[in-house]
Chains A and B, each alone.
Chain A
Amino acid sequence: MTTQRATLAALDRVRPYLLPLMALWTDTNALLGRPVSLTALQDTLVELEAKRFVVSIDQDGVAKWRISDLGSAELRAGG
């Protein structure tokens, strides 16, 4: 599983709720065979956000993430 797919899968599992960054990092790594660094995850999130597959919301100074409909569709399409 790629980091992008694991990230989308982690967010899709909790849809429609938002996952705080650290929780997303843990969940993504739980789905990956080989854990990624926080920086690598943040890079992935930037890519996914550019594709509008994920949405970032700042709540009380904490970055939280949610999968978009487009991201869910991408995940189901096997992207």
Chain B
Amino acid sequence: MRKTRSDSKLLNLPEEQQAQLADWLLGGMPYHEAKAIVAKPAPEGFGVSVSINAFSGFWQTVCAPMMLQRRSRAVRTADLIAEEIDKAPGRLDSATIDLLKQQAFELASSPQARPRDVKALFSLVLKARDQELVERRIRLLETKAAQADQAEQVVRNEVLSPEEKAQRFKEIFGIA
């Protein structure tokens, strides 16, 4: 009777166990650690004893395609975020936009990241940026209102000469 190949053992695991193993390996678990875990009896492990080389085969057959898929998904997620960013030109400078897009891509590429969470995170970043702009606009309006009040007092002042008033206006509006 032919002996089952060591890497076949991993490839013949039930689908959910293969998915679990792929999750571990894609999450950075070293082969020797994975070997020890899968050798443990269920429910902790899979009760399968294989060589380290078997994990290379499993990686190439199962993990590598999954990883490439994940990378493609990360590109799509980052592209969606990039569209959101590009919808509001002028809010951020181009260097910041490029950096945000790259960060979105890298975050979406990470094993634990879920595209929906990454998009939500970047929406928050953009909203925070919007909020900052609104606050800046409000501060600017408040400054202008205060300047208008001061200017009005100068206009109503009957003691000041026209030259003195002109000088006050310059001071209020910061004109050199």
A13 touches B64 (CB 8 A): no
B71 touches A14 (CB 8 A): yes
B78 touches A30 (CB 8 A): no
A14 touches B68 (CB 8 A): no
Is A29 on the interface with B (CB-CB < 8 A)?
yes
A31 touches B68 (CB 8 A): yes
A13-B75, A17-B101 known; A30 vs B67 contact (CB < 8 Å) = yes
How many CB-defined contacts (below 8 Å) exist between A and B?
36
Query: Shortest beta-carbon distance, B55 to chain A, in Å?
Result: 12
Q: Which residues of B contact A14 (CB under 8 A)?
A: 71, 74-75, 105
| Contact segment of A19-27, A36-44, A71-79 | A19-27
**A27 CB contact (under 8 Å) in B60, B68, B78, B102:** B68
Query: Shortest beta-carbon distance, A46 to chain B, in Å?
Result: 23
Is A45 on the interface with B (CB-CB < 8 A)?
no
Proximity string of chain B (52-85) to chain A, C-beta cutoff 8 Å, 1 when within and 0 when not: 0000100010011101100110110010000000
What secondary structure prevails in chain B residues at the interface with A? Answer: helix
A27 touches B71 (CB 8 A): yes
What size tier do the contact residues of chain A reach? 10 to 19
Query: Shortest beta-carbon distance, B137 to chain A, in Å?
Result: 32
- Considering the complex, give the chain B residue whose CB is closest to the CB of A17: B105
B67 touches A18 (CB 8 A): no
B75 touches A26 (CB 8 A): no
B106 touches A13 (CB 8 A): no
Contacts A18-B105, A30-B65 known; 8 new A-B pairs at CB < 8 A: A13-B72, A13-B75, A14-B75, A14-B105, A17-B75, A30-B64, A31-B64, A35-B56
| B residues adjacent to A (C-beta < 8 A) | 56, 60, 63-65, 67-68, 71-72, 74-75, 78, 101-102, 105-106, 109
A sample of 25 inter-chain contacts (CB < 8 A) reads A13-B68, A13-B72, A13-B75, A14-B71, A14-B74, A14-B75, A14-B105, A17-B75, A17-B78, A17-B106, A18-B102, A18-B105, A23-B71, A23-B109, A27-B67, A27-B68, A29-B64, A30-B60, A30-B63, A30-B67, A30-B68, A31-B64, A31-B68, A33-B60, A35-B60
